[in-house]
Copies of this chain bind each other. A is one copy, B any other.
Amino acid sequence: MATLNIAESIAETRNYPYNCWWVAGFGNEVGRSLLARWLLDTPVVLFRQQDGTVAALEDRCPHRQAPLSLGRLRGDTVECGYHGICFDATGRCVRVPSADAAPSFSARHFPVKEVGPFVWVWLGDASMIGSAPPPPELPWMTDPTFATRSGQMEISANYMLLKENVLDLTHFGYVHASTFQIEDWTNPPEVSGDGETVGYRQRFVNKPLAPGYAMSLGVPPGTPWNREHRGSFLSPALQEGCVDFQDPSQPERAPARFRVAHATTPVDQSHMLYFWVIARDFATVPEAMDHLVGAIRTGFDEDRVVLEAIQAQSSRGPRRVSTGERSVKADAAGIQARRIVARWMEREV
């Protein structure tokens, strides 16, 4: 079993599978105009049809290569902005203004699934779509018990760097020392995997709550509570994180639940789009959620700085740096994730 060596691969060889569902964007980004996006080094144009379903085509007119996104949406057809050639939502050419009959060529068409807040796209081999797992569903995303917020950013780093980041939260005390102030995550968590997914689980019993946690739970900072953190690599495209908070003096009460989804879609080998959704079933009033989003954005920006520094160093070439990496116990989940991705890659050779 080959383990992808990220140290050597992040700047060079493709380490993202084509034959996988990836998040193209949030559903509320895709409307009745043309949205252009590079995903897996492929130009994609997305739009919502009149029946509400989302369509995706290669963002390149097969006639003379103009990006279709420079054109406009007319009904359910895309009109190229250069010579007015029109394509339907399946990519079929339906009109050439300077010719009597539509020719037989097509723009490339990509299957789409809208699940919860995400628009998923299949950019791989169409014949493989049945053998791949469907987009993972996270029920809390559409559970009205939860208040939900989302956001996105482009990060100039290989997508696996973020995967590894969220699979090893011992970085809390360093990268987020001043923001999250979670200082008790010093031991590596329990890790379990089934070959296609991998998860960690870490329990904190009677531990003083960091100020942000305490405030949202309505208790003084430092109050001893129980927390259980769990995280799962669900597919190369999606990672889930969970925190359950429990007042140890009220063990009969249901835990307060925080959830986060990290969807990462490679733009290319050294850039990713990062789509995140957070939710919780406590402190759900808008002011509290606004405050949470502010803290999350600050924290994710701290991660971005580290990941981009790693990528920049790795991408700088020709260069003379040591190669290879040394792992520690806290890398166990990240290493399993690399192995899972390595198997995805092997399947499409």
Binding site for B on A (CB under 8 A): 7, 38, 40-43, 58-60, 62-67, 70-71, 79-85, 96-99, 103, 105, 108, 164, 168, 170-171, 173-175, 186-188, 268-269, 305-306, 309-310, 313-314, 316, 318-322, 324-331
Whole-angstrom distance between the Cβ of A18 and the nearest chain B Cβ: 8
In the docked arrangement, what's the CA distance between A82 and B186, Å?
13
Q: Which residues of B contact A64 (CB under 8 A)?
A: 164, 310, 325, 331
Whole-angstrom distance between the Cβ of A44 and the nearest chain B Cβ: 10
Pairwise interchain contact B63-A326, C-beta atoms closer than 8 A: yes
Pairwise interchain contact A306-B81, C-beta atoms closer than 8 A: yes
Pairwise interchain contact B63-A173, C-beta atoms closer than 8 A: no
Pairwise interchain contact A7-B321, C-beta atoms closer than 8 A: no
Q: Identify 21 residue pairs between A and B in the complex whose beta-carbon atoms are under 8 Å apart, listed by A's number.
A: A41-B320, A60-B321, A60-B322, A62-B324, A63-B325, A64-B164, A64-B331, A65-B325, A66-B310, A70-B305, A79-B174, A81-B306, A83-B168, A84-B170, A97-B173, A98-B170, A98-B187, A98-B188, A98-B329, A103-B326, A108-B322
Pairwise interchain contact A98-B330, C-beta atoms closer than 8 A: yes
Whole-angstrom distance between the Cβ of A85 and the nearest chain B Cβ: 7
Whole-angstrom distance between the Cβ of A65 and the nearest chain B Cβ: 5
Q: Which residues of B contact A168 (CB under 8 A)?
A: 83
Pairwise interchain contact A171-B82, C-beta atoms closer than 8 A: yes
Whole-angstrom distance between the Cβ of A185 and the nearest chain B Cβ: 8
Known contacts A98-B187, A174-B82; A63 and B327 CB within 8 A of each other: yes
Pairwise interchain contact B98-A309, C-beta atoms closer than 8 A: no
Partner of A83, one of B171, B187, B322: B171
